[in-house]
Amino acid sequence: MRAVVYQETGPSSVLQVVERDLPEPGPGEVRVRVVRSGVNPTDWKFRAGMMAGHDEVVPGQDGAGVVDAVGEGVTAYAVGDRVWLVLAQHGRPYGTAADYTVQPVDRVASLADAASYDLGASLGVPAVTAHRALTAAEDGPHRLGPGTLAGRVVLVAGGAGAVGNAAIQLARWSGATVITTVSSDAKAALARAAGAHHVVNYRESDATEEIRTIAPDGVDIAVEVAPAQNIGIDLDVVKVHGLVSIYANNGGDELTMPLRAAFGKNLRFQFLILYTLHPHLVQAAVEDLNAAVAAGALRVGADAGVPLHHYPLELTAAAHDAVEGGAVGKVLLEVAAD
């Protein structure tokens, strides 16, 4: 089978397309014929300098395809089942940038017949992150679905990003009023396509003032991609007992804030990364995401605010470069025909 590998960290040129033996699933594992592989920022970051002790790595946390073989004791899946994958390369050397991947069943989820492989490979890291960002408030909700965020106001920073887009769609599905911030008219159009009720271009107006005008009582949840830059806005607009969910460090690695402002509002700050997230939280996200997909509430493509960028497996290096360069939308590897 074909596999994209790297044996040392460095620029995208360390990636090679090689032939490897077809892996066999062990007990509790399934083999998946990969149709699409999702590329995320962590893929190029791991490749650039965080190889984590493996002699050879096949990158790719996310993917979608068809179960090709099942190991001993597996009853949840059968050959021919359509599936999507989550955290496929976490703690393991072999991810989804290959014709086949072997995964434990707890990293496999059913993919609805009506859902495309593009959508399946776009869930994983972005959508599970968005789910956790929306469910970390002290008083909940701890699951998402119709009505669970009714009466809440959610602020999504960077609504044109992959996590931002998923947060908008999931919050809208769950009944929230959604405000998002963007940096251009083109990104504003994507955020509106995702379903945001209000879009604030922070380059053209005072974001705090505009958000306060839209939500004079404040917002309940801020989904934050750039805390070093936006903490002042968050402290001003998040209401008492509100939640600031921080999932990235865009715009700076150091966060400085006036503590009294946070104390005074009894704010909750949730820092999150999937790789150390409790397994039951990942499972809850997977179940809710599948419900959203089944309801048609979680989509990809330009009409959903997520332009898709397809690369053949042989151009995985170019796909990594595109993500590292800030491609707007979702970068996918076309591993096989649908």
In the predicted model, residues of the chain with pLDDT beneath 70 are 51-52
Q: Model's pTM, two decimal places?
A: 0.96
Rounded CA Rg of the chain: 20
Residue 51 has what pLDDT? 66
Residue 250 has what pLDDT? 86
Cα separation of 115 and 49, whole Å? 35
Residue 49 has what pLDDT? 87
Burial status of residue 327 (CB atoms within 10 A of its CB: 0-12, 13-18, 19 or more): middle
Are the beta carbons of 179 and 198 closer than 8 angstroms?
Answer: yes
Are the beta carbons of 37 and 121 closer than 8 angstroms?
Answer: yes
pLDDT tens-digit readout, 4-57: 999 999 999 999 999 999 999 999 999 999 999 999 999 999 999 876 678 899
Residue 53 has what pLDDT? 75
What SS3 string covers the chain? CEEEEECCCCCHHHCEEEECCCCCCCCCEEEEEEEEEEECHHHHHHHHHCCCCCCCEECCCEEEEEEEEECCCCCCCCCCCEEEECCCCCCCCECCCECEEEEEHHHEEECCCCCCHHHHHHCHHHHHHHHHHHCCCCCCCCCCCCCCCCCCEEEEECCCCHHHHHHHHHHHHCCCEEEEEECCHHHHHHHHHHCCCEEEECCCCCHHHHHHHHCCCCEEEEEECCHHHHHHHHHHHEEEEEEEEECCCCCCCCCCCCHHHHHHHCCEEEECCHHHCCHHHHHHHHHHHHHHHHCCCCCCEHHHCECEEEEEHHHHHHHHHHHHCCCCCEEEEECCCC
